[in-house]
Amino acid sequence: MASHIVGYPRMGPKRELKFALESFWDGKSTAEALQLVAAGLRASIWKQMADAGIKYIPSNTFSYYDQVLDATATLGAVPPRYGWTGGEIGFDTYFSMARGNATVPAMEMTKWFDTNYHFIVPELGPDVNFTYASHKAVEEYKEAKALGVETIPVLVGPVTYLLLSKPAKGVEKSFSLLSLLPKVLAVYKEVIADLKAAGASWIQFDEPTLVLDLESHKLQAFTDAYAELAPALSGLNVLIETYFADIPAETYKTLTSLNGVTAYGFDLVRGTKTVDLIKGGFPSGKYLFAGVVDGRNIWANDLAASLATLQGLEGVVGKDKLVVSTSSSLLHTAVDLVNETKLDDEIKSWLAFAAQKIVEVNALAKALSGNKDEAFFSANAAAQASRKSSPRVNNEAVQKAAAALKGSDHRRATNVSARLDAQQKKLNLPILPTTTIGSFPQTVELRRVRREFKANKISEEEYVASIKEEIRKVVVLQEELDIDVLVHGEPERNDMVEYFGEQLSGFAFTVNGWVQSYGSRCVKPPIIYGDVSRPKAMTVFWSSLAQSFTKRPMKGMLTGPVTILNWSFVRNDQPRSETTYQIALAIKDEVEDLEKAGITVIQIDEAALREGLPLRKSEQADYLDWAVHSFRITNVGVQDTTQIHTHMCYSNFNDIIHSIINMDADVITIENSRSDEKLLSVFREGVKYGAGIGPGVYDIHSPRIPPSEEIADRINKMLAVLEKNILWVNPDCGLKTRKYTEVKPALTNMVAAAKQIRNELAK
């Protein structure tokens, strides 16, 4: 019985690629040094899978930024502003598209389906001259082959690529991106020919858009695309891989009827209904790549249950046509549990990171072929039983408190207009108040202090003194810049979710459980293994300290319950809504303690609200109901004069704008500039928004410093659709990934632009 891995983490077990990328971007190392690190990581990954007995090993899943940007490079679809004149696309052009440079902004970045991973959105139009401009796929296939490892080259499918793209600036929004399919397929044919010539026998096309609710013309595009590619693919085994949700019934029919396709990969963890479709009819002689090992969470597989599922499918597709696989790429999990030295043995026995999931896949494949490892299965069953019965998982008082929430809507007693009036009397802010989102640059010295405190190399007194001084500097800087509502800069936090999880019960933490979010940015999601509560105040000390340094309003900075949920590895033994309600109660306690301490502006970030939206429309209303309700729970008890902010970023918010309004926050700051201000279109279309709103005026993920004229122009565009008395001026997101040499001039220009527009409005 064969085994397959959809994809694998790229950063390395200890973020080796992250550090190599940042060294290269900072000019401290060469392109050759970066490529050497990357080649070493790829070789290690391929060898690991080969040694574990995996038959179908992927190649071309490694990326220096993201796989969609890699596809853009392959197709030569470089926007003209980057000055690319042809030839093989190199690092300068590639990273300029991803990060921008001193003269031009980056391309838009958004979330990869409903994950915390991001991709660079292709900008296309009728004049794009597609050309084969990156040979990465065939080069990596040859690289693996030279190491003695036969792989399946993986490409982002042509239809998914177009469906994830957007019309370039200046192109009509109604332009049909699918009309570009013939031009795109011409390049795909060249790539396929190269892979054939190199000796590839399989090729994997990732087409995850097949799990969405697609209109008939989009489904037809898949039929047309693979019919056109069929002659080029002749002689190859072709796998179409889908993931993240159930396949709709009509789509299943289309997919399993595609020309020239040998195999179909399905997510059977998040797509349990797909099992029924398969049992209802599967094409004779085709392979089923059954994704029964979760590619998106870190819980050990229930091997007995997965084996039963596979045995049920075996009779439908045939023993020799069933391949055991992961539900999606393992990119979304941590790398290796072996590197976790501080997790206690009980919790560790419940977990499986990417390296362990490879072993699980192969163990299931062996069991199906009659070579079951009884000891491995027995240990797995014992771990499953331990988790179900552990007293650490369940807290009856927390469960009762969360259950009691369902009887109320949890809305503040006064409407937002009256609250804003009361808040303005207390805060006395100018028109177009300026603020930032929360974090300030995380310097090398600051990281050293936190690291040494965690390692017990400095005392708590020394740590507090260092953080206190950092907060003082950030406050002084903001006052010098004349920002209206200040933040303390979050120097005590390495990560916004990790920080809160460390102080809540029901959470566990890793040492090296890093997961890529975008580019070199990695996060270390906490593990929610049990019921959640707040033993003590989490932020009151630091917020009160920061407020003592200034007479200006100082935001209390919290992460909202839905974002904590979506940016954690969440327990899978109860509904996600139950866990979110528990977190909401904990954050509610913190909000009320901040208010008692005199903090009059409290920001509860829900950056990941949109990210968790189910991919299927039939499931979205239920999610938005409990997600928005959870946010309202956190601040239902505060006074009218306490201003509640929230923040969202790097997703498409237009389709959930009414749910955002229903959150009933006093002020929302929201990413806007990097996505070409598409957020503003909902207001142009007549959506009325009465609360405060701060669409971002510049992109913080690029080192580029925007001139004040550009920011002023953005503010004027906002004023064309929003009332001046509700508009705030702020960056797209937090500033932790930037340097002070970038932050100071950018914020200087932002404040200057706000003052310029204020003066113009006064006249």
Active site members: 701
Asked whether residue 605 is marked as a ligand-binding residue, the answer is yes
- 185: exposed, middle or buried (C-beta count within 10 Å: 0-12, 13-18, 19+)? buried
R_g of the chain, CA atoms, integer Å: 26
Phi, psi of 646 (to 5 degrees): -140, 165
Asked whether residue 466 is marked as a ligand-binding residue, the answer is no
Asked whether residue 203 is marked as a ligand-binding residue, the answer is no
Number of helices (H) and strands (E) in the chain: give both, helices first: 27, 22
Phi, psi of 182 (to 5 degrees): -60, -40
Asked whether residue 590 is marked as a ligand-binding residue, the answer is no
Nearest C-alpha neighbor of 644 from the set 686, 590, 696 = 590
Q: What is the DSSP letter of 569?
A: E
Asked whether residue 406 is marked as a ligand-binding residue, the answer is no
Asked whether residue 521 is marked as a ligand-binding residue, the answer is yes
Asked whether residue 704 is marked as a ligand-binding residue, the answer is no
Provide the β-strand partners of residue 439. 489
SS3 (DSSP) at 242: coil
Asked whether residue 647 is marked as a ligand-binding residue, the answer is yes
Q: Are 132 and 190 in contact (CB under 8 A)?
A: yes
Nearest C-alpha neighbor of 105 from the set 675, 761, 565 = 675
Q: Are 354 and 326 in contact (CB under 8 A)?
A: no
Query: Which residues have C-beta within 8 Å of that of residue 128, sequence separation ≥ 6?
Result: 77, 168, 180, 183
Centroid of chain to Cα 276 = 30
Asked whether residue 567 is marked as a ligand-binding residue, the answer is yes
| Nearest-angstrom CA–CA distance, 286 and 323 | 11
Asked whether residue 408 is marked as a ligand-binding residue, the answer is no
Asked whether residue 439 is marked as a ligand-binding residue, the answer is yes
| Nearest-angstrom CA–CA distance, 331 and 558 | 28
Distance (Å) of CA 641 to CA 393, 421, 428, 438: 39, 9, 12, 21
Query: Which residues have C-beta within 8 Å of that of residue 201, sequence separation ≥ 6?
Result: 150, 236, 237
Q: DSSP string spanning 253-280? A: HHHTT-TT--EEEEESSS-TTHHHHHHT
Asked whether residue 649 is marked as a ligand-binding residue, the answer is yes
Asked whether residue 267 is marked as a ligand-binding residue, the answer is no
Q: Specify binding-site residues for L-methionine.
A: 437-439, 490, 605
Q: Specify binding-site residues for Zn(2+).
A: 647, 649, 658, 671, 733
Q: Specify binding-site residues.
A: 18, 116, 437-439, 490, 521-522, 567, 605, 647, 649, 658, 671, 733
Q: Specify binding-site residues for 5-methyltetrahydropteroyltri-L-glutamate.
A: 18, 116, 521-522, 567
